[in-house]
């Protein structure tokens, strides 16, 4: 029955019968290597014309960090991106999804430094820069491929021959060229400003890498490098002695340790209490420093009587022309927050401490290291963003770039319209070293320069190129030029910002650059809209004159089942591979600290006391897409993914059953025969509806709508209804037509499913016969995706008729499920006389299921009866009841058969002309009877559900066919 197409020996055996049950491990074992080997993921596959009349789709992956493994947030990104990529590929477009990996400057350096200290007791400074970089490359070559392995396990259809690493030679050259061009234009410049300084990283970080933690008062916060939590959210007041008098000035600060760097005391000009101190000096309690009292509007009189004048006030108080001291002037070898305690105690000992009180404040926290960020004056490299930001904002306003969903537009315009210059220096060793050189001119006619003076900095791809530039700038010969390259590296986001075109060989005019740039779509999480998306847009416009993509789709952020963001510190990060294969509570090898490992263990033990069950890749992907909505957050419960694992099993069993129904010699026809019954036409109508829903939803990035349409078709329409109909068909000619219809549903249904569940859809598709064995594609991944032009069998009339049938059937099944009705035959007992029976006042409630035969509706089987028993009835008694009614033609009378006695029943369905009207009336009566009697019945101590067969006979049936009891 199966037709194979150059299947590799690696591929699972699709000739042998399907195993009894679905196994993710069995299904997902070998398809990916075969897809790769066949070249299905390459844009060149199957393209016969240039340019492709069906168009092109190009998307680059948000390069994950090389440092570690994916979590479920990454899995969501890749599930969405691969689903889109596979959909475009199946539409016949030239499709490229380009992989890559980010060198993750800060994160990678931290990982390797910890590893060095743990294994060899050495710091990076002990090794030296060159040797340390070699250690990082060694680690990358050993551990860096883990992330690619995970992406393959997720089924990501990336063109791996084009995989890029941001520190590769090609991309490093592009980074260097981008810096040089922007520096030569003056877009990149050097300046000494206050920067956000992370003490644990010993590096500057950007504004958007600083989290603002709001405190309402005294709060103890954990700080890296400190065993005990550190106190924040308080205001400390102390006194400075006025020189030459007994007076003192009371000042207040939230950072008492910074008073060591004070060089003046500032008071408000209108503060009458200190007008007489104008021109006076105060004495620093711990050194010989005399500090002037200055008057400045910057001081908030409600904050305190005075303020220490140190680097924190340098921006507003430079007009006073003081020589500022660093705020980190603490005793030799003492950490800043240890110095806090020491300074406070010393002030108390000198009698100059006044009080401590709660103070609401905002604490800057490094988003990477969780360290407390310090403001520090440092010369750094900056990118002027005003013009680029305006261009990026205008591209969205003018409709050249579309951001989806549009509720992110407000954030986009707020950032772009108020953008600040971007600090791109990082005091690290791992990364792209800045290709800028400080110039010293060995000529007395040239004045020596200072580090912060941009005129004395030149950039070049080599030292020789930089020397030529310097000689030309200062009008001297090259032998008089001495160069010193900047020790800093570029912010990782700088190389990520040019990723969409650096991967294709920019600045060289390569074929890939001409074909695949600009791209089609950028898909990522909304949390890096500014980190990455905005910078790609700005740098793409600046360096290439083109937008890097036409659309940006931003998906929600994945949180755990409790709504918490997934993080190592919370211990709630879950590896997608653990969900795919299942895992106990034992964590696998990772780069986490022992403390973080313990937190992760406790977090998993709390949420998954029995471990995580095996769900498989397909179920994980489907669940992630089903969860995705155009909102901001997804609270993902891993246990719910298991439900889609059961859906895979349902698919498996459905195809297994259908293949038996089709038979070994089944040959699919190329088109419908025109003899399809109502049920055939109904399932084809539902199939067409699913095709239309998927087409519309894919174009709108509405992934829940896609999963819902496919799930409903397979589960509720094909499996629950049509497969039952096929199994009941006895007419041979009609059975043949049914089998052709069934094949169409299976084949098209699997194609609909393929972008979301590539593994199980391939496994099942390969076991189906082909309509055109000689010309059909070898894999479902390169088979055409169903479109509305081909599948246009929608019939509203047939859908309405079947909707009634499904309503009744689903209602009965729902009742059986709600009341846990089982197929247990009831015992018949006669314990009441007819008089006592009459007191019970039985109430009949009628429902109907319907089959469709030869285009006519015929009431065929099953009614549900509810008897209200007398309150004194013994709970141990079980009754069996049957009912016999003549429905065709409409009954004039019926019989209620109870305990061997027939009771007349007034007809519930009145005679009405036409079957359809009778069916509609039946539904109305059913609903009314249900509403009026069910709630009443629930109040009684004893009631039973009995399901009996309807018989088209002239007399009642005295034995129940099936009975259910509660």
What is residue 384's three-state secondary structure? coil
User: Among 53-67, 318-332, 476-490, 861-875, which stretch is predicted with the lowest mean pLDDT?
Assistant: 861-875
265 confidence band (pLDDT: 50, 70, 90): confident
872 confidence band (pLDDT: 50, 70, 90): very low
| Residue at token pair 């020596």 | 448
811 confidence band (pLDDT: 50, 70, 90): low
Give me the phi and psi of 331, to 5 degrees please: -50, 145
Query: What's the CATH fold of domain 234-359?
Result: Isoleucyl-tRNA Synthetase; domain 2 (3.90.740)
Domain 637-799 has CATH 2.130.10.10: no
CA nearest 518: which of 60, 50, 46? 60
Where residue 563 falls (left for φ over 0; alpha for ψ -120 to 50; beta otherwise) is left
Residue 334 has pLDDT above 50, yes or no: yes
| Residue at token pair 């069950």 | 613
Q: What average pLDDT does range 163-184 have in this prediction?
A: 96
Contact 407/86 with Cβ under 8 angstroms? no
CA distance 748 to 688: 10
CA distance 761 to 772: 19
Q: What average pLDDT does range 885-913 have in this prediction?
A: 35
CA nearest 207: which of 393, 8, 418, 430? 418
Tens-digit pLDDT profile for residues 628-652? 875 556 777 777 788 999 999 999 9
Q: What average pLDDT does range 823-835 have in this prediction?
A: 32
pLDDT of residue 876: 27
Domain layout of the chain by residue ranges: 43-184+387-416+496-555, 234-359, 637-799, 816-948
CA nearest 754: which of 152, 150, 89, 99? 89
Write down the number of H helices and E strands in the chain: 29, 36
Residue environment code for 430-459, b if the CB has 16+ CB neighbours within 10 A, otherwise e? bbbbbbbbbbbbeeeeeeebeeebbebbbb
608 compared with 874, residue with greater pLDDT: 608
311 confidence band (pLDDT: 50, 70, 90): very low
Q: What average pLDDT does range 48-62 have in this prediction?
A: 89
Contacts of 798 (CB under 8 A, 6+ apart): 678, 681, 682, 685
Tens-digit pLDDT profile for residues 684-731? 999 999 999 999 999 999 999 999 999 999 998 999 888 887 876 667
pLDDT of residue 856: 31
Give me the phi and psi of 626, to 5 degrees please: -65, -35
Contact 115/127 with Cβ under 8 angstroms? no
Residue 837 has pLDDT above 70, yes or no: no
Q: What average pLDDT does range 150-154 have in this prediction?
A: 93
CA nearest 457: which of 385, 388, 379? 379
Q: Helix, strand, coil: what percent of the chain each, to 5? A: 40, 20, 40
β strands within 545-664, DSSP E: 551-555, 557-559, 633-635
677 confidence band (pLDDT: 50, 70, 90): confident
853 compared with 453, residue with greater pLDDT: 453
Where residue 695 falls (left for φ over 0; alpha for ψ -120 to 50; beta otherwise) is alpha
Long-range contacts of range 408-416, CB-CB < 8 Å, 24 or more positions apart?
408/526, 408/529, 408/554, 411/529, 411/530, 412/529, 412/534, 415/389, 415/529, 415/530, 415/534, 416/389, 416/390, 416/392, 416/534
564 compared with 173, residue with greater pLDDT: 173
* Tokens of residue 543, six digits: 């360096």
Tens-digit pLDDT profile for residues 426-464? 999 999 999 999 999 999 889 999 888 999 999 999 999
pLDDT of residue 603: 62
Q: What percent of the chain has pLDDT over 90?
A: 45
CATH class for the region spanning 43-184+387-416+496-555: alpha beta
User: How far from the centroid of its chain's Cα atoms is residue 385's Cα?
Assistant: 29
pTM of the model: 0.77
Residue 937 has pLDDT above 50, yes or no: no
> Which of 98-107, 136-145, 154-163 ranks highest by mean pLDDT?
154-163
β strands within 49-207, DSSP E: 56-60, 94-98, 100-101, 164-165, 188-198, 203-205
Residue 827 has pLDDT above 70, yes or no: no
Q: What average pLDDT does range 314-322 have in this prediction?
A: 33
Q: Name the DSSP letter for residue 133.
A: H
């Amino acid at each position: 029955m199966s037709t194979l197409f150059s299947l590799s020996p690696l591929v699972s055996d699709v000739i042998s019968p399907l195993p009894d049950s679905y196994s993710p491990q069995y299904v997902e074992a070998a398809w990916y290597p075969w897809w790769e080997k066949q070249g299905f993921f390459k844009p060149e596959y199957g393209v016969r014309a240039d340019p492709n009349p069906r168009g092109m789709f190009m998307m680059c992956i948000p390069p994950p960090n090389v440092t570690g493994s994916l979590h479920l947030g990454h899995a969501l990104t890749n599930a969405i991106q691969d689903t889109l990529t596979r959909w475009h590929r199946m539409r016949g477009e030239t499709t490229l999804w380009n992989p890559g990996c980010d060198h993750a400057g800060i994160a990678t350096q931290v990982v390797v430094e910890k590893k060095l200290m743990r294994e060899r007791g050495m710091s990076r400074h002990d090794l030296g820069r060159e040797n340390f970089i070699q250690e990082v490359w060694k680690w990358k070559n050993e551990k860096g491929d883990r992330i690619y392995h995970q992406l393959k396990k997720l089924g990501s259809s990336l063109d791996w021959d084009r995989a890029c690493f941001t520190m590769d030679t090609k991309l490093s050259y592009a980074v260097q060229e981008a810096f040089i061009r922007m520096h030569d234009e003056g877009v990149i410049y050097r300046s000494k400003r206050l920067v956000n300084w992370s003490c644990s990283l010993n590096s500057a970080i950007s504004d958007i890498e600083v989290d603002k933690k709001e405190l309402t008062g005294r709060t103890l916060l954990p700080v890296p490098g400190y065993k005990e939590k550190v106190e924040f959210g308080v205001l400390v007041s102390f006194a400075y002695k006025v020189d030459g008098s007994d007076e003192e000035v009371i000042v207040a600060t939230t950072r008492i340790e910074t008073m060591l760097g004070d060089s003046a005391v500032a008071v408000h000009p209108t503060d009458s209490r200190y007008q007489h101190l104008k021109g006076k000096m105060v004495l620093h309690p711990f050194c010989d420093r005399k500090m002037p009292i200055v008057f400045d509007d910057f001081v908030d009189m409600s904050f305190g009587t005075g303020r220490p004048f140190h680097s924190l006030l340098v921006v507003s108080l430079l007009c006073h022309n003081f020589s500022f001291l660093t705020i980190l002037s603490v005793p030799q070898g003492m950490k800043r927050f240890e110095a806090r305690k020491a300074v406070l105690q010393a002030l108390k000992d000198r009698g100059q401490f006044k009080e401590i009180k709660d103070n609401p404040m905002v604490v800057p926290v490094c988003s990477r290291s969780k360290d407390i960020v310090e403001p520090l004056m440092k010369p750094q490299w900056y990118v002027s963003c005003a013009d680029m930001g305006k261009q990026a904002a205008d591209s969205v306003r003018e409709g050249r770039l579309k951001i989806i969903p549009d509720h992110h537009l407000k954030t986009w315009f707020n950032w772009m319209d108020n953008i600040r210059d971007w600090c791109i220096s990082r005091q690290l060793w791992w990364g792209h070293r800045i290709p800028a050189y400080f110039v010293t001119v060995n000529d007395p006619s040239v004045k020596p320069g200072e580090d912060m003076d941009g005129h004395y900095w030149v950039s070049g791809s080599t030292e020789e190129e930089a020397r030529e530039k310097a000689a030309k700038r200062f009008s001297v010969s090259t032998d008089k030029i001495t160069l010193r390259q900047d020790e800093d590296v570029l912010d990782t986001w700088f190389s990520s910002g040019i990723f969409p075109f650096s991967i294709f060989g920019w600045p060289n005019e390569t074929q890939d650059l001409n074909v695949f740039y600009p791209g089609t779509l950028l898909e990522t999480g909304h949390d890096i809209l500014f980190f990455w998306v905005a910078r790609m847009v700005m740098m793409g416009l600046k360096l290439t004159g083109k937008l890097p993509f036409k659309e940006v789709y931003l998906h929600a952020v994945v949180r755990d089942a409790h709504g918490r963001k997934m993080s190592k510190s919370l211990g709630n990060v879950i590896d997608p591979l653990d969900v795919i294969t299942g895992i106990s509570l034992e964590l696998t090898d990772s780069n986490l600290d022992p403390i973080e490992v313990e937190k992760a263990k406790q977090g998993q033990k709390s949420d998954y006391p029995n471990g995580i069950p095996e769900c498989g890749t397909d179920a994980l992907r489907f669940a992630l897409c089903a969860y995705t909505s155009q909102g901001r957050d997804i609270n993902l419960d891993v246990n719910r993914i298991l439900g889609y694992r059961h859906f895979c099993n349902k698919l498996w069993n459905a195809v297994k059953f259908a293949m038996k129904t089709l038979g070994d010699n089944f040959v699919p026809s190329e088109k419908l025969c025109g003899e399809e019954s109502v049920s055939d036409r109904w399932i084809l109508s539902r199939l067409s509806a699913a095709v239309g829903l998927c087409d519309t939803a894919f174009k709108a990035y509405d992934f829940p709508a896609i999963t819902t349409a496919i799930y409903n078709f397979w589960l509720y329409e094909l499996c629950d209804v049509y497969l039952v109909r096929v199994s009941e068909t006895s007419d041979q000619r009609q059975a043949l037509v049914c089998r052709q219809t069934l094949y169409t549903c299976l084949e098209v249904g699997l194609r609909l499913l393929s972008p979301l569940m590539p593994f199980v859809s391939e496994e099942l598709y390969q076991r189906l016969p082909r309509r055109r064995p000689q010309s059909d594609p070898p894999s479902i991944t390169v088979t055409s995706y169903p479109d509305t032009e081909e599948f246009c069998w929608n019939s509203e009339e047939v859908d309405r008729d079947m909707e009634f049938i499904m309503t009744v059937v689903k209602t009965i099944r729902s009742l059986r499920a709600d009341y846990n009705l089982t197929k247990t035959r009831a015992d018949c007992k006669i314990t009441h006389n007819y008089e006592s029976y009459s007191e019970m006042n039985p109430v009949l409630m009628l429902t109907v299921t319907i089959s469709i035969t030869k285009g006519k509706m015929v009431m065929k089987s099953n009614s549900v009866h509810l008897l209200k028993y007398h309150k004194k009835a013994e709970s141990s008694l079980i009754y069996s009841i049957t009912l016999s009614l003549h429905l065709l033609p409409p009954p004039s009378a019926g019989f209620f058969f109870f305990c061997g006695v027939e009771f007349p029943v007034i007809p519930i369905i009145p005679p009405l002309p036409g079957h359809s009207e009778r069916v509609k009336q039946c539904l109305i009566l059913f609903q009314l009877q249900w509403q009026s009697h069910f709630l009443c019945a629930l109040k009684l101590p004893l009631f039973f559900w009995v399901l009996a067969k309807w018989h088209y006979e002239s007399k009642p049936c005295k034995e129940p066919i099936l009975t259910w009891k509660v």
